[in-house]
Structure 1
Amino acid sequence: MTRIDKGIDVTGGRSPRSSFLIILGLVFVGFFIGQFVGFLASMTFAVANGMGISDLTDNPNALYDYMGLGEVLTTQMLYTLVFTFLTPWFYLRLIAKQSLSSISNETKVDPKLVLATVIGTFSFLFVNAYFIEWNANIDFPDFMSGFEEWARNLEEQLAETTEKFTTFNNFTQFLFGFLVIAILPGIGEELLFRGVLQNSLHKLTKNAHVAIWVSAFIFGAIHLQFYGLVPRMLLGAVFGYLYVWSGNIWYPIISHIANNGIAVIMTYAMSDVNLDETEAVPVAYQIIGVVVFIAFMFLFRNYYLRPKQSIE
């Protein structure tokens, strides 16, 4: 078990600066290509189901009115595959000439740590609830009213979209939703943001903390939801520390899948649950969550600090 205090080399022989700039550029290019592929798929489904161009111009979200849940999830899956799977693969295989396995110092996982990771991730939901509520209620000064209106409108549109692909009518839809919302993003986003982007920043800055937090910020910002930026950034930082401490990309992947998966399960089990709900949980639960989460992070970190471990 090897920590990556110095980061894993994903430069492919290039300078850390040029490597980072290439990766950053690919992140944004991959994002827009993924969005475009998803949009084309949505248009194809919607037009095939009877949507007219005037319907789309009158209401940008009209696409989803002409699509079934399976079709909506399929478009989201295509976006995720193109953006978060194809982008890191393209960089590692075709530019850096490395395999995807090169971003982990080990691939085995300890069942005890897997269970601890799931419990720690669940406890962080209660911790992050405070930041979700705080971020959602930020008010801007008058001179930024234009930005605030744009951000609020975008937030509402994305909330409507989220509701569209999390309304499951049967167990089959739930399983497909779990795959698209939890498993695929959990794997793909960690390969991209932790495995490739964070490592490139680590080599560039020679500082693990800077690399973790900057990549976490980009991870949060790329979702285009300003009123969810801070909690997503904090979540990304948690994934980043699990990765650096363990040297194993599977632990942030497991944590990411657990975070998204718990929300999907709650949505299916309790139909009145809203994934975009911003009201914080009771303070007592938050305190318990903080204690459990801190204990988890402390124990996880110390597990990889034992003297017999090999530190890179």
Structure 2
Amino acid sequence: MRPLFSSFTPGYKIAWLFLFLLIGVVVASILSGLVLMISGVGSEDKVTAIYVGSAMQSVLATALPAYLVVALTHAAPAYYLKMTGSERIGEKMIFAVLVFIFSYCLASFLSQWNKGIEFPAWMSEVERSFRALEDAALENSNLLLSGKTASSLVLNLLIVGGLAAVSEEIFFRGALQQFIQEKFINRHVAVWITALVFSLIHLQFYGFLPRLLLGGLLGYLFLYTRNLWVPILFHFINNALIVVLHFFWGDTQWIQKIEEMPINGWFLLAAVASAVCTVLLFWGYRKKRLII
């Protein structure tokens, strides 16, 4: 079947992508409210509301808009999104796991550094606004992660881990990054613009730097492996690890110490080593695969 808008420029594709995203946000919000009105769903249960809202947003405001734009502009959407190739998939998945392991210390350092940023006095109102957004997001996360039943663990792994990873990678790496690359040609520009948008769209200033790094790593995984399932795996591991740690050890002191680890020379040295190892890992993979 010939795509309806095959002549669209990359700029138009990006514009339609975000227009569909906005429409999806509205539709997801309306449908979430309707679902929560159904008897027995639990309209008074905030945790249920967060699950329903998260699932609706992931499908209707993230994955579906990206897939629709790609389907309208390309004859084989799954092929364009690079969700069909299986060549050396095992090797690529191992590469994703290694990148996660080697980059973890750097991400943790950036997270702690970002959380400690203080604004000058004349920007106190801006800081209060950012803190309010951060507190609201943290409250929702804590509500989801507070469940200690097997069903809550499975739901978190499916929705917070799996569904979020798949939908966001379809939108950001599968669609947006490739549209930007079509427009600017330079692949590195595409990776980092997409990472910037990925971080900004979460509306969490105090998680901006680690999320920017995450977006960059996901972008390069997609760029070098040419398979969307590779960044999806990385993204899932990142989300699922948080879910699993909080489920089994959320109330322990060592988790709290890790989350409140102070910035010092040793932490900085470990972060630098983590960054160097991650860069060398990408360099080695690129050289091995003869990627230009």
TM-score, with structure 2 as normaliser: 0.83
Equivalent position amino acid for 2:63 in 1: F
Q: Select the residue among 65, 74, 78 that pairs with 1:100.
A: 78
- Indicate yes or no: 2:2 matched with 1:20: no
- Indicate yes or no: 2:280 matched with 1:302: no
Q: Which structure shows the bigger proportion of residues in helix conformation?
A: 2
Residue 66 of structure 2 aligns with which residue?
88
Report the more deviating stretch, 196-205 or 162-171.
Answer: 162-171
**d(CA) in 2 for partners of 1:81 and 1:122?**
29
Deviation, 1:240, is 0.4
Equivalent position amino acid for 2:281 in 1: L
- Indicate yes or no: 2:97 matched with 1:118: yes
Deviation, 1:296, is 4.6
Deviation, 1:222, is 1.0
> Share of identical aligned residues, percent?
23
Q: Highest relative contact order (Cα 8 Å, sep 6+), 1 or 2? A: 1
TM-score, with structure 1 as normaliser: 0.78
- Indicate yes or no: 2:37 matched with 1:44: yes
Where does structure 1 lack aligned partners over 5 or more consecutive residues? 1-10, 52-65
Q: Select the residue among 135, 153, 174 that pairs with 1:195.
A: 174
The DSSP-based 3-state class of the residue aligned with 1:12 is coil
Taking structure 1 as reference, are residues 173 and 282 closer, same or farther at Cα in structure 2, changes over 3 Å only? Answer: farther
- Figure out how many residues of one structure are paired with residues of the other and give that number: 283
Deviation, 1:235, is 0.5
**d(CA) in 1 for partners of 2:212 and 2:25?**
18
Taking structure 1 as reference, are residues 48 and 305 closer, same or farther at Cα in structure 2, changes over 3 Å only? Answer: closer
- Indicate yes or no: 2:219 matched with 1:240: yes
The DSSP-based 3-state class of the residue aligned with 2:68 is helix
Taking structure 1 as reference, are residues 143 and 25 closer, same or farther at Cα in structure 2, changes over 3 Å only? Answer: farther
1:1-312 equivalences in 2 (<5 Å): 12-35=6-29, 37-38=31-32, 40=33, 44=37, 66-67=44-45, 69-104=47-82, 106-272=85-251, 273=255, 277=259, 279=261, 284=266, 287-288=269-270, 290-291=272-273, 294-306=276-288
CA RMSD, Structure 1 to Structure 2 (Å): 3.1
Residue 58 of structure 1 aligns with which residue?
none
Whether contact under 8 Å (2:106, 2:274) holds in the other structure is: no
The DSSP-based 3-state class of the residue aligned with 2:118 is coil
**d(CA) in 1 for partners of 2:38 and 2:137?**
19
Deviation, 1:117, is 1.8
**d(CA) in 2 for partners of 1:278 and 1:187?**
30
Partner deviation per Cα, 1:5-52 (whole Å, 9 max, x = no partner):
xxxxxx8332222223222433444345445544x2586379975x8x
Equivalent position amino acid for 2:127 in 1: E
Where does structure 2 lack aligned partners over 5 or more consecutive residues? none
Equivalent position amino acid for 2:158 in 1: L
Deviation, 1:183, is 0.8
Equivalent position amino acid for 2:54 in 1: Q
Whether contact under 8 Å (1:129, 1:278) holds in the other structure is: no
**d(CA) in 2 for partners of 1:151 and 1:251?**
32
Taking structure 1 as reference, are residues 186 and 286 closer, same or farther at Cα in structure 2, changes over 3 Å only? Answer: farther
**d(CA) in 2 for partners of 1:48 and 1:187?**
25
